[in-house]
Structure 1
């Protein structure tokens, strides 16, 4: 049947409106464990010690996992290069922080228990000692030569430089009746989906198959990236996206918690669930913000002959898969 000039019947509304939607947290697997994440309270600090004995002794705790426990098991999280970038440096994002934390909310350890509250209680018993280091919160200051470099392997704090455009701005200036200039601040904001991030991982050792139910907008991309991180063929990973309660780009990333939970399921050979709390969602997800220096060549009639913008964007402590998308997309081309 041709679809031109035809109304398309919506098929997803009724189950959601009648309370029959199926989200990640609705999924219950037999013998399932629950994970909680120990996070850094510091934007930048050195980890001097992690003590897990007290947490491991708590009732129903099955495992406490730190970076030392997964060394060599997984690769760092991937970051996508940007085609046409003049300069790009990609510091590796570890699944769990080991020596240094680089942002508030960075995962340091995972606690796994039989029940959610038991995991939460044991999480608070993990003892982490930090030595605070200078933090960078202003991207303009971060670009100055005298500002400390956050990642030792980088030559400064610039992660990406790209030029995007067309036409001749000099010619536009020559024909313009007026040149307008201004500085514009786009404040930091964070996606706030009704459903926070979440995952259920279930490893089948008999078939060497890892199945992950994830609150994600891009299940096939997740499978490809997980195969790279776990160093296993994509055929051994299955990603299922049930109903997703909002995303706004936040659920297009492979997050370190997803990798850690998948690894826990393979190690423990039991299903593991992690559902992010609302405060975690605000703390651990990077907000975005820009500063733009804009110059417009215009005529008396209000015609814009040329537009030039130099934008500085805060990409956070690491380049995630889509970190560069908002500032690059904002060029308007």
Structure 2
């Protein structure tokens, strides 16, 4: 790195490589009632538009919490593309492919999504209230993680304590911000039925398992390569929808 010999994802160029961009949700919670892509496909240099209807029949859901990894986390199904409903602003809905990055951005501007906005939850108290809108399909409520901590006779300890304090702690939203963002390059060899993925990840072996499971491929038919990475800080693990959508494309 110090000598300038690092080879990052953006340094990798493949023959005939096209460029992708994503249409993302403008709403925190809404049904998708229509997708209009005809104008985007008329743009010179446009290659393809992949919508949820084309992806969903061919993929399995991504499980944020691996079964068996925790006895108190509730795994829920999250598909690479929304199955008719978006649940946060910025959720990827569809992917476009073009000859250049600029053409891909122009395609995004030419695509129209019809939404039917519904009530969203914006904080923890609201999400736990009776009758709160449920975000994820198949979940009875919005609780994804629950555990009671304790040891010994806690009730007796409280009764005998000289002082008992009760406090609610609020932690603000936070994220890691590495110098290099997430990125993916995918190449499929149709003759060998083999998928190769270059991605800025710290966990290529786990990523391979995710790609294989979600895309219904054998693990020996998927290779994941992690080039030099410009920082990770906890956000470059596995299972991001954008990476799977690019591999499908």
Shorter chain as denominator, the TM-score bin is over 0.9
* Aligned residue in 2 for 1:248: 233
Aligned residue number for residue 88 of structure 1? 74
Match of 2:205 among 217, 220, 245: 220
Q: What is the rounded CA distance, in whole Å, between the counterparts of 1:152 and 1:221 in structure 2?
A: 26
Distance 2:152 2:43 in 1: 65
2: CA distance between counterparts of 1:98 and 1:125? 22
Secondary structure of the 2:205 match is helix
Conserved 8 A contact 1:77-1:95 = yes
Post-superposition shift, 1:182? Answer: 2.3
**Residue 124 of structure 2 corresponds to residue 127 of structure 1:** no
Identify the residue that residue 320 of structure 1 maps to in structure 2: none
8 Å contact from structure 2 (residues 74, 144) kept in 1: yes
Tell me, yes or no, if the aligned pair for 1:40 and 1:104 is still in contact at 8 Å. yes
Residue 183 of structure 2 is aligned to residue 198 of structure 1: yes
Instruction: Give the count of matched residue pairs.
Output: 247
Partner of 1:178: 163
- Structure 1 contact 34–113 (Cα < 8 Å) conserved: yes
Gaps of 5+ in 2: none
Q: Which residue of 2 aligns with 1:4?
A: none
Range that drifts further, 22-31 or 151-160: 151-160
Corresponding residue for residue 169 of structure 1: 154
More strand by share: 1
Structure 2 contact 56–83 (Cα < 8 Å) conserved: no
Quick check: 1:47 aligned with 2:32?
A: yes
SS of alignment partner, residue 187 of structure 1: coil
Q: Decide whether aligned partners of structure 1 residues 213 and 89 sit closer, same or farther in structure 2, where only a CA change above 3 A counts.
A: closer
Instruction: Find the partner of 1:258 among 238, 243, 248.
Output: 243
1:156 alignment counterpart: 141
Name 1:35's counterpart in structure 2.
20
With structure 2 as the length reference, what TM-score do the two structures score? 0.92
Match of residue 114 from structure 1: 99
Q: Does 1:78 align with 2:63?
A: yes
Contact 1:145–1:156 (Cα < 8 Å) also in 2: no
- Give 5+ residue unaligned stretches, structure 1: 1-15, 265-333
- Shift of residue 84, structure 1, vs aligned partner: 2.3
**Whole-angstrom CA distance in 2 between matches of 1:244 and 1:89:** 29
Q: Given the alignment, which residue of 75, 82, 85 partners 1:100?
A: 85
Q: What do the CA deviations read for 1:93-126 (whole angstroms, capped 9, x no partner)?
A: 1212241111111111111001111111111111
RMSD in angstroms over aligned alpha carbons? 1.8
Larger radius of gyration: 1
| CA spacing shift, 1:180–1:105, aligned 2, 3 Å | same
Deviation at 1:34, TM superposition (A): 0.4
Shift of 1:152: 4.9
Distance 1:75 1:193 in 2: 30
TM-score (norm 1): 0.70
